[in-house]
Structure formats: structure tokens, C-alpha cells
Structure 1
Amino acid sequence: MSGRSIDEILGIQRRAFLRDGPPTLAERKAHLSALEGQVRKYQRDMGEVLSEDFGNRSRHETLLAETMATVMSLKHAKKHLASWMRPARRPLSRLQHPFASAAVHYQPLGVIGIMAPWNYPFQLALVPLGQALAAGNRVMLKPSEFTPGASALMARMLGEVFSEEQVAVIEGGPDVAAEFSRQKFDHLMFTGSTATGRRVMMAAAENLVPVTLELGGKSPVIIGEDYDLDRAAGSIALGKMLNAGQTCIAPDYVFVPEGKADAFARALSSRISGMYPTLAANPDYTSIVADRHFERINGLIEDARARGARIEPINPGGEDLGNQRKIAPTLILDVTDDMKVMQEEIFGPVLPVKTYGALDEAIDYINAHDRPLALYHFSDDKAAQRRVIARTTAGGMTVNDTILHVAVEELPFGGVGPSGIGAYHGEAGFRTFSHAKSVLRQSRFNLGGALRPPFGAGLERIAAMMIGK
């Protein structure tokens, strides 16, 4: 970031946007290619700085969830951008508008503010950046202060290929973030916790800035009576343990049929032990990002223990994890709703297990709580699948797997209610960062004359045709 203030940079970008007008298809593709090139160029550095920021962050997880996810999103946008930009024609009533035409034109909004989180600092900054650029906008980006190495590298990566009037990275702590959220952007996107999202939305409301909020919540899993527990455990282990559970769509708690909690615990323990036979020196096992999050997660475990839960850590080597901010994967059985672990988003490698009798019990429990960002259902029973899909509301859903819906660029990604407002990814992201302008092209031959005073029999005949009997 230069020595300019946030509002000065905003002014520079807005003046540049008004001066240059909407970029062409070729210019937008060039911006996306430049961004893609920087991700490729710095992919090794991305893994290194994130491992430093976290204490240990699996470089392969960074390759998968940051580098690959971002590049695939940019490729998808370049492939489909021409069709996204094309005006969408709308059919007209030939009775009302006999010779007119109508279409929706997608225009860039102007200057977009993006506030990115720490858990996937590159993906959750650069994917929306790419979609905002695809829509023809200028962008100001505020990364998280929890991953300062990633923020500094991002500023370097973007500064090499974009001028400050096109893309600007704003580094800093909570005070800078608060000031950023109060700016008169044309749209503001925030990814983070529900509590912080509320504050961001309140700040944006001062200037009537529209927002997209990608939040979180307690994403549930329902394992059907018919489904093999070991198969489910394999998918749940992957979704839960990626980034040590520090994922907004990670499974947050699991419903298993009555009488199967212990069998599921054994299956999950076996699967996780196979993935992580050691923890302490294992480069694949990611640390918790900061001391306060480490203490918070341990506090959830101890609160559940004090309230009568069975705590089952999965530590195959029986290792002392020392001061690496690593928490062993932990199952919590016999949970009750008075435990904090069932009231707060966990965001760590801890998984409560609940039981249910009839499927409607699990559905009713989910519906009695805030709508989650994601929901997972394991069942080969098509009727049960349809029932869960129809009866529950969540931002997104994967059937017979976890988290993979986020990787499908053709699907909008977003929450509902406390788990988020709006959506992005693929065409949905292009639309989020565009203004849909309705355009009616009127012909010289139209009914306008009959619609103006002095009114007479012509208007009455038209009204009779429109209204009918």
C-alpha cells in the first residue's frame, strides 16, 4: 500500500473508472490472465508464507485449496466471460410492445471492496478479485492481519501487474478494517465470522453500500440408516480435517442413527489415523492460526468435558504436541445443547456426534437453529435425499460427500441468513459484481400516442384488450 489513505485510493479508482469506462472483453481477459500468471509464479512462495503464518500449514493443502482453486476459477471465468457479458434478451408481449425489443445489459459497478479472511487468505481474496475484474470493476482488497506474510506477498504479487488505480491492497489491523468497511464502495464483499459480518453490514449501511457476506455457522452432517459408516467416515474425515478444521464449510457436527455413535467414532478414528499417523512433526497436519483461536478451541473441549461429554482425541502416536498450536483431532460424544461446542462454530479439528431416531428428528433439529452455510447428507435412499433437500435450508449442500460443492464453479456459493447474504463463484460472481441494467428499445411504431392525454376511445380499446373479460 502506498502512503495514500483509503479514501484517497478509492477516489483515484473511481475517477479512473469514470475516465476509462467499462473495459472490453479483451482487457478483462488480460486482467484475469495477469492474475493467473502471478498465482503460478508465486505458488511456492504462497505455501512458504502460509506455513510461517500458521506455524505449520500443509503446503499440499495450500496447493490444493489456494493455488489450484484460484487458477481453476480464473480459467473458468476466461472461458465463459464472453457469454456472461452478452446482453440477455427478454421476450416481450407483442400486444403491448409490438415492435420493441428488451434486454438486460450487465455493467460494472465501479469500485469493489473485498475483505478477505485468514483461513484461506489467497483463495478467498483472489477468487472474488478475479470475478470483480471479470465484471469490469476496480478493486480495493483488505486481507486479514492474522496472516501478515500472505498479505505482504499478495500486495507484491498484485502490485507487479496492476496499477493502484486498478487493484490496491490495503494492509493493517482491526482499525484499518473498520475504516475500510465504512467506505463508499459500489459493493462490499466480506468473508469471515457472523459476528464481524454484522458489524461490517452496519458500517456499510451508513452509505447504503450493498454487501455480499460470506459467513459461516454450524454445518451439519446427517448419516442415513442405510449408509455405510466407513464410507461416510472417509468423506467426513477429509472435509473436517482440511486445514485442521479451519474451513467455513467444514462439518461442524454429525447426526448418526441411534446405537451407531460408537461404531462411527471407531470408523472416523481409523480414517483419520490413516491420514495422519503422526501429528507433531507431520507437515500435512496444519496448526491453529493463532494463540487465541487455539485457546478458544481447547476451551470448547474442556467445557464439553465438564458438562459430561465423552472426549476421544485421535492421536495415533500418543505424541506430546508441545507448543506448535496443534490440537489432536477430537471426537465429542454424548453432547448436549448446553455445551458451548454445540452453540458456537468450532472452526477447528473437533467434531461433536449426536444421535437421532427418525430422519425428521435430525431435520427438525437443524431447522430449529440458524441456517447453516453447508449441509451434508449421506444416504443412497433417493426419497430420503429428496426429503432432506426439500425440508432444510442451507447455503449449499453435498450429498454423499463433504465440501466439494464449493469447487463447482457452475454452482453459486453463498449462505442464507446468519450464514451469509448473496453468492459468488462463476457466473454468480460476475452477476454479483455487475449492475443488471434493463434496456427497452422502442420502435417508431408504438402505442404511445394512445397512452397520452387527451384520453379517448383508443385507450379504452387498448385497455379492454389488455384486461380482457
Structure 2
Amino acid sequence: MQTIVQVFDAQQKNKYKLRLSSAKDRIKKLNKLKSTIKELEEDIYAALQADLRKSRFESALTELIFTYGEIDFAIKNLNSWMKPRRAGKSIVNLLARNRIYYEPKGVCLIISPWNYPFQLTMSPLVSAIAAGNCAILKPSEYSIATGAVIAKIVEKAFDKNEIACFEGDESVSKALLKLPFNHIFFTGSTAVGKVVMEAAAQHLSSVTLELGGKSPVIIDETANIKKAAEKIAWGKLMNAGQTCIAPDYIFIHQSKLEEFITLYKSAAISMFFDEHKRINYSAYAKIINQRHYDRLMGLIADALQKGADMPWGGASVLSDQTIHPTVLTNLAHDCKIMQEEIFGPILPVIPYNDLEATIAAINGKSKPLAMYIFSESKSNVKRLLKSTSSGGACINDVLIHISNPNLPFGGVNESGVGSCHGFFGFKAFSHERAVLFQSPINMSNMVYPPYDNKGWVLKMLKKLM
């Protein structure tokens, strides 16, 4: 078995060959990836069930169909993405042709998380292949079953000198991060993202960091509360809340608070409970491991200890790593659940009367990966969008902006660096190279030394500018 360094060195040698690959070559590789995934679909479903208790439908919707869509979109558009793009001219190169070439960055590292372990490995891999790179994958050690299937897919579809996968614990990630990759694509927590960025800085490797944060929801007095409750229940509780863009906490107009809690509870029960109002394990995922289970239960305990109310939920089953959907209100500002990303099925709900105060509260936290606004007031929507910052936003819905490959997906500052999906993923793994083709008619000598008697040149340039 080849070591990490041996595989890395082989890819470093092979990257120059891949630089010459055509769209046809890359499309062939993407098709091979797709056919290998299809061949091992049942293994993927079983792995996601083992790691997260994901239902077949949820796994298909959020992991497989999403991945197939990324592959198909890249195949459909790759020819146009790879073509040099025209760039405008300036005064000093009026007769030249200006182009932007997209060249592969080289050897890339993709470190993926455990919450959507298949999709969040394959999506950046598709972009890396489309851009003509070599890549080494490091799946999360927490989603061990899915990591094993990913390794199997990579081994069947590619030579190691092009795409390779290394499973293992934190020590494997540390070993990989010591190497001078041309680009690192990391998806995970902000804390680990800082470690990755620090390691990348040692080699001046470029990075794409897909992180997270506390994605807020604002529901004003004009919103359709029933629809908002249904959409938020789905978006919050899918994968048991273990989604980087899940609604983290809610600001709701005081007049709609009780109605929302009632309707949220009703929507959640209809989606994730059986006819006896017991958790439906075939629809509701589990918490990934006991460490995260204990962390989430600790957040609830801390909030309650500091005076929070719990109008619904709080039940849990350690043996099944299951925490029931939970709503918290009357939260103290200093409770832990309002300071850190929840990443679980717990929903803090905060009433407001003054929208400006709500905007100030959101801006008082780090910029989130997503923001969700429920309102029928165009002026309120405009005001919220202009007054805040987030990686992405949805109006009158949650999560679904990630499903459009024509939109960039990424965070800002603590919620991420760079963006991905579709052409934006292709760009993340490409260097935009400026190329100027000079005209045979040489006008450059007008600015060559000596500078005696060149005053007329300066006058002409000033007038043209």
C-alpha cells in the first residue's frame, strides 16, 4: 500500500499531464465517477443508514441525487467553462486581444465532514475533476461506513496518481496538511477551518473553506406562519439538525410567537413522528456520536439552568443517539446555545417588536452561512438584506438555495472563504490566468525611454483617460 507521501509525489508528477486534458477527457472521468456511484448505490444507502440512520429517501434526496446533479451540470457545461473568456481592453492595449484562461491548480486536498459525508465529498471532487486537477480525499472518521464506500468508489474509478482516498483519524488529516498542496477544500467547523487555513499558509496554498455558523431566521408580522413553520420544521429537523445551513435560531414578531410554536410542533409531529406520536426512526436521523449527543444535551441543560423555558421537547434516548425536536424560549443572552452553532434539533425562538434591534442582534454575531427571511413585506425584506451579511439567503424558504448550481454557495469570514457548486466550484479549483495577445502593430514604443520630447505622449494619454 502506497503511503500518503508516495501518492502525493505521484500526483505532483501527473498534474502536468492532466493540465493538457481536454473537456472530452474530463467528461469521460466524470461519467466514470457517475457509473461507479450507480454501481455502488446500495452500499451508499447502507452506509448512510449505519452512520446517521438516514432514510433511503433522505439519502437519495440530499446525497445521491444532489451528487448526480452536480456531475450532470458539469458535463453539460464543461466545454463552455473551459473556453478562454474575452476580457475588455484598456487605453494601453487597444489593439491587443485579452483573454482569461482557466488552468487547473494542480494537486488538491479535499477534507470532508460527517454530516453529509457522501455529498460533501463528491461535490468538490466533481469540481476538481472538471477543472483538471489531481486530488486526495480525506473523509471524516466519524462517518466511517460512508468513508469506506467513498474509498471503494475512488479505487474502482481512478488511478491513485490522479484521485486517491485516505481514511483514518485526525493523524491522517495532520499528515496531509503538512504537504504543499496547490489547493485545499475543507468543509467543517469554523474552529477546524482556522487550523486548515493556518496549515495552508505555511505553503501559501489557496483554500476554499465551507464552514457554518448561527444561521438566523426572521419571521415578521406579515409572514404566512403556517408555511413558515412547515418549512422551518423540515429544514431544521432534516438529518436531526446536523446541517451547516440549518435554521439555527429564530427571531419572530411578538404577535406571532405562540401561533408559530403551535404550528411548528404540529408540522414536526406530522413529518417525524408516527401515528402514536412517537419518533419515527425511519424518517428521523440520529446524532452522529455520543460526544455530539452529550454536547447538545449540555446546551439544553445550560439554557434551562439560566432560566429558559422549554415549551416542547427535551426527550432523548442515549442508546439510540436520538434527541427529540426541542423548542426553547426566554433565553438568556449568555447561554451557550446562543453563542455557538447548535448543529442539532434544538430551536431557540426569540420574540421581537423592533426590527432594528433584531438587525443589531444579528450583526452582533459573526456573519452566518445562511439567513432566512419570512415576510410578505418587500420593504422589510429589502431592509434585512441591505442591513445584514450572510453567505447566502432564502426568502420564504430554507435550505433550497444550495440546490441551484447556478448560484454560488459559500460563507463569508467566519462562515467560510470562497464558494462552490457549478461554475463557481470549477473556478475554485482553477487559476484564472490573464493572457494578452499583442497586436503586430507596435504602439508600445511610444512609452519607451528616452523620455525627452515625450510630453505629447503624456498629453495624449491624459486626454484618452
Same fold (TM over 0.5): yes
Query: Which whole-Å CA distance do the structure 2 matches of 1:380 and 1:372 have between them?
Result: 23
**Residue type matched to 1:10 in 2?**
F
- In the alignment, structure 1 residue 432 sits paired with structure 2 residue 428: yes
Question: Identity of paired residues, percent?
Answer: 39
The residue that corresponds to 2:243 in the other structure is: 247
What is the SS of the residue equivalent to 1:83? helix
**Residue type matched to 2:102 in 1?**
Y
Query: Which whole-Å CA distance do the structure 1 matches of 2:211 and 2:93 have between them?
Result: 44
Equivalences for 1:40-189 in 2 at 5 Å?
40-54=38-52, 56-93=53-90, 95-189=91-185
How big is the shift at 1:262? 2.1
How big is the shift at 1:81? 1.0
Please say if residues 279 and 324 of structure 2, whose CA atoms lie closer than 8 Å, have aligned partners that are also in contact: no
The residue that corresponds to 1:220 in the other structure is: 216
How big is the shift at 1:58? 1.9
Query: Which whole-Å CA distance do the structure 2 matches of 1:381 and 1:281 have between them?
Result: 37
Q: In the superposition, relative to structure 1, how do residues 349 and 362 fare at CA in structure 2: closer, same or farther (>3 Å)?
A: same
Q: In the superposition, relative to structure 1, how do residues 119 and 229 fare at CA in structure 2: closer, same or farther (>3 Å)?
A: same
The residue that corresponds to 2:325 in the other structure is: 329
Query: Which whole-Å CA distance do the structure 1 matches of 2:208 and 2:19 have between them?
Result: 24
**Residue type matched to 1:41 in 2?**
E
**Residue type matched to 1:132 in 2?**
A
Please say if residues 369 and 392 of structure 2, whose CA atoms lie closer than 8 Å, have aligned partners that are also in contact: yes
The residue that corresponds to 1:388 in the other structure is: 384
How big is the shift at 1:455? 2.7
Query: Which whole-Å CA distance do the structure 1 matches of 2:384 and 2:199 have between them?
Result: 36
Query: Which whole-Å CA distance do the structure 2 matches of 1:196 and 1:83 have between them?
Result: 35
What is the SS of the residue equivalent to 1:384? helix
What is the SS of the residue equivalent to 2:334? coil
**Residue type matched to 1:168 in 2?**
A
The residue that corresponds to 2:456 in the other structure is: 461
Please say if residues 99 and 446 of structure 1, whose CA atoms lie closer than 8 Å, have aligned partners that are also in contact: no
What is the SS of the residue equivalent to 2:99? strand
Q: In the superposition, relative to structure 1, how do residues 164 and 344 fare at CA in structure 2: closer, same or farther (>3 Å)?
A: same
The residue that corresponds to 2:35 in the other structure is: 37
The residue that corresponds to 2:201 in the other structure is: 205
**Residue type matched to 1:391 in 2?**
S
Please say if residues 22 and 107 of structure 1, whose CA atoms lie closer than 8 Å, have aligned partners that are also in contact: no
How big is the shift at 1:40? 2.0
What is the SS of the residue equivalent to 1:53? helix
What is the SS of the residue equivalent to 1:211? strand
**Residue type matched to 1:82 in 2?**
N
Query: Which whole-Å CA distance do the structure 1 matches of 2:316 and 2:124 have between them?
Result: 40
How big is the shift at 1:361? 1.7
RMSD: 1.5
Identify the range of structure 1 (11-20 vs 238-247) with the bigger mean alpha-carbon deviation.
Answer: 11-20
> How many aligned residue pairs are there?
461
- Show structure 2 runs of 5+ residues with no match: none
Query: Which whole-Å CA distance do the structure 2 matches of 1:235 and 1:154 have between them?
Result: 31
The residue that corresponds to 1:295 in the other structure is: 294
Q: Which runs of 4+ in 1 moved over 3 A?
A: 278-281, 312-315, 319-322
Please say if residues 313 and 328 of structure 1, whose CA atoms lie closer than 8 Å, have aligned partners that are also in contact: no
Identify the range of structure 1 (61-70 vs 32-41) with the bigger mean alpha-carbon deviation.
Answer: 32-41
Please say if residues 272 and 279 of structure 2, whose CA atoms lie closer than 8 Å, have aligned partners that are also in contact: no
Equivalences for 1:264-283 in 2 at 5 Å?
264-278=260-274, 279-280=278-279, 282-283=281-282
How big is the shift at 1:37? 1.5
What's the TM-score once normalised by structure 2's chain length? Answer: 0.96
Please say if residues 252 and 345 of structure 1, whose CA atoms lie closer than 8 Å, have aligned partners that are also in contact: yes
- In the alignment, structure 1 residue 25 sits paired with structure 2 residue 33: no
What is the SS of the residue equivalent to 1:348? coil
Q: In the superposition, relative to structure 1, how do residues 151 and 329 fare at CA in structure 2: closer, same or farther (>3 Å)?
A: same
Please say if residues 18 and 134 of structure 2, whose CA atoms lie closer than 8 Å, have aligned partners that are also in contact: no
**Residue type matched to 2:64 in 1?**
T
Query: Which whole-Å CA distance do the structure 1 matches of 2:17 and 2:410 have between them?
Result: 33
Please say if residues 280 and 326 of structure 1, whose CA atoms lie closer than 8 Å, have aligned partners that are also in contact: no
Please say if residues 280 and 321 of structure 1, whose CA atoms lie closer than 8 Å, have aligned partners that are also in contact: no
How big is the shift at 1:163? 0.4
Q: In the superposition, relative to structure 1, how do residues 245 and 342 fare at CA in structure 2: closer, same or farther (>3 Å)?
A: same
**Residue type matched to 2:14 in 1?**
A
The residue that corresponds to 2:186 in the other structure is: 190
Please say if residues 273 and 314 of structure 1, whose CA atoms lie closer than 8 Å, have aligned partners that are also in contact: no
What is the SS of the residue equivalent to 1:160? helix
What is the SS of the residue equivalent to 2:332? coil
Query: Which whole-Å CA distance do the structure 1 matches of 2:33 and 2:405 have between them?
Result: 18
How big is the shift at 1:385? 1.0
- Show structure 1 runs of 5+ residues with no match: none
